[in-house]
Structure 1
Amino acid sequence: LDPQCERQADDGHPIVVDYGGTLLWSHRTQNIIFSGTFWGALLVIGPSMLIWHRCSPRLILLVAMISYVVVTFATPFLALHFGPIAVFSARVIMGFGEGFVVPSFNALISNWFPVEERSTALAVYTTGNQLAGAIGNPLAAALCASPFGWPGVFYSIGQFQQFIIIIYYFITAFTIIIIYHYFLLLLLKLQGV
């Protein structure tokens, strides 16, 4: 924030409104940290399109999700022991993963859904952003107020991300043809053919 816009106490010092945590980082520092994800995504969005043409979007998405988990779990440690520059760097790495997410999802949607249903599939995918904000923010506030404190937010979200990765790994395929092939083989086996 612009220092001129910050509220001042009677003694002229800025009023600090915080959650009572151990990290007293300025709004400017926090904004820079949050921007790290977007800088990382911006740096790799172009190259990511070239890479997913050569590799499986399913695998690329899996690696991107794993980068999210690693950074999520590492954030409290980095913040407490190495400071804001380390957290910013971790957020840039998270952004590298994010830069691969949208092209990978688009490729998966184009391979799984007929043309008429792709907009619906994309709407369901993007609804996750709104749900994350609607559910995640109150949950994060509750965790911050709990005995786990703010690190509990990162650890619980990291565990949830691990759960999603495991489900994703076992139930997805790059194209529906692979799943359909196994389904047909199972049907033939059940019919004794």
Structure 2
Amino acid sequence: MDPQCERQADDGHPIVVDYGGTLLWSHRTQNIIFSGTFWGALLVIGPSMLIWHRCSPRLILLVAMISYVVVTFATPFLALHFGPIAVFSARVIMGFGEGFVVPSFNALISNWFPVEERSTALAVYTTGNQLAGAIGNPLAAALCASPFGWPGVFYSIGQFQQFIIIIYYFITAFTIIIIYHYFLLLLLKLQGV
């Protein structure tokens, strides 16, 4: 047991909080696995800014989201059959996708939103991170305690991600729709810009 996280009962024996799962990985191993996402993002954040200048941010986000879904669904299989190194590698791949998300969202916001609405669009985007933590952690805990166990967390999130990808695919466009473009030009003329 990690001495930093160890708690002791009144009789001096350590209290072990077991989640009842099948993977008994040390805290150090878990920390290394979680860091994989950040290492992947760190490796591609520079090149991603060059790539989104040449490719559609919509397409880049779509590919990044698909990589998230594949890794999310594959994680339980990789963990059970190949161990922590495979899960770390999968998290690095997830980080590659994440490294493209921030520059792509910034490009979408700066290209598609009027100047006075950009701060609101950015606030909505960044609020999603806080909501994911606030809603995701209790939901993950409930799923871990359910008969589905910890793999249920990954499968549920993967299904939700698929749903978001389908919505994203059908409600976004590669280019501004001509009518919307003329509407924006008219709006700018009316505002005297």
- TM-score, normalization by structure 2: 0.86
Extract unaligned runs of 5+ from structure 1: none
Alpha carbons of structure 1 residues 92 and 116: separation in structure 2 relative to 1, 3 Å = same
Alpha carbons of structure 1 residues 186 and 158: separation in structure 2 relative to 1, 3 Å = farther
Alpha carbons of structure 1 residues 179 and 77: separation in structure 2 relative to 1, 3 Å = farther
Please tell me whether the aligned partners of residues 2 and 27 of structure 2 are also in contact (alpha carbons under 8 angstroms).
Answer: no
Question: Shift of the alpha carbon at 1:2?
Answer: 6.3
Question: Shift of the alpha carbon at 1:177?
Answer: 3.7
**Mapped partners of 1:105, 1:191: distance in 2:** 27
Question: Shift of the alpha carbon at 1:116?
Answer: 1.2
**Mapped partners of 2:190, 2:70: distance in 1:** 42
Question: Shift of the alpha carbon at 1:78?
Answer: 0.3
Q: Which is worse superposed, 89-98 or 103-112? A: 103-112
Question: Shift of the alpha carbon at 1:17?
Answer: 2.6
Question: Shift of the alpha carbon at 1:122?
Answer: 0.3
How much identity, in percent, do the aligned residues show?
99
Please tell me whether the aligned partners of residues 111 and 174 of structure 1 are also in contact (alpha carbons under 8 angstroms).
Answer: no
Alpha carbons of structure 1 residues 192 and 15: separation in structure 2 relative to 1, 3 Å = closer
Alpha carbons of structure 1 residues 192 and 46: separation in structure 2 relative to 1, 3 Å = closer
Question: Shift of the alpha carbon at 1:180?
Answer: 2.5
Question: Shift of the alpha carbon at 1:111?
Answer: 1.4
**Mapped partners of 1:37, 1:191: distance in 2:** 45
List, as ranges, runs of 4+ consecutive aligned residues in structure 1 with deviation greater than 3 Å. Answer: 1-16, 174-179, 181-193
Deviations 1:15-39 (A, max 9, x none): 5433111100001100000000000
Please tell me whether the aligned partners of residues 29 and 84 of structure 2 are also in contact (alpha carbons under 8 angstroms).
Answer: yes
Over the residues paired in the alignment, what is the CA RMSD in angstroms?
A: 5.2
What is aligned with 1:162?
A: 162
Aligned length: 193
Please tell me whether the aligned partners of residues 72 and 158 of structure 1 are also in contact (alpha carbons under 8 angstroms).
Answer: yes
Alpha carbons of structure 1 residues 12 and 89: separation in structure 2 relative to 1, 3 Å = farther
Extract unaligned runs of 5+ from structure 2: none
SS in 1 for 2:70: helix
SS in 1 for 2:21: coil
Deviations 1:101-122 (A, max 9, x none): 0000011111111111111100
**Mapped partners of 1:11, 1:187: distance in 2:** 73
Please tell me whether the aligned partners of residues 73 and 154 of structure 1 are also in contact (alpha carbons under 8 angstroms).
Answer: yes
Deviations 1:29-60 (A, max 9, x none): 00000000000000000000010011011000
**Mapped partners of 1:50, 1:68: distance in 2:** 21
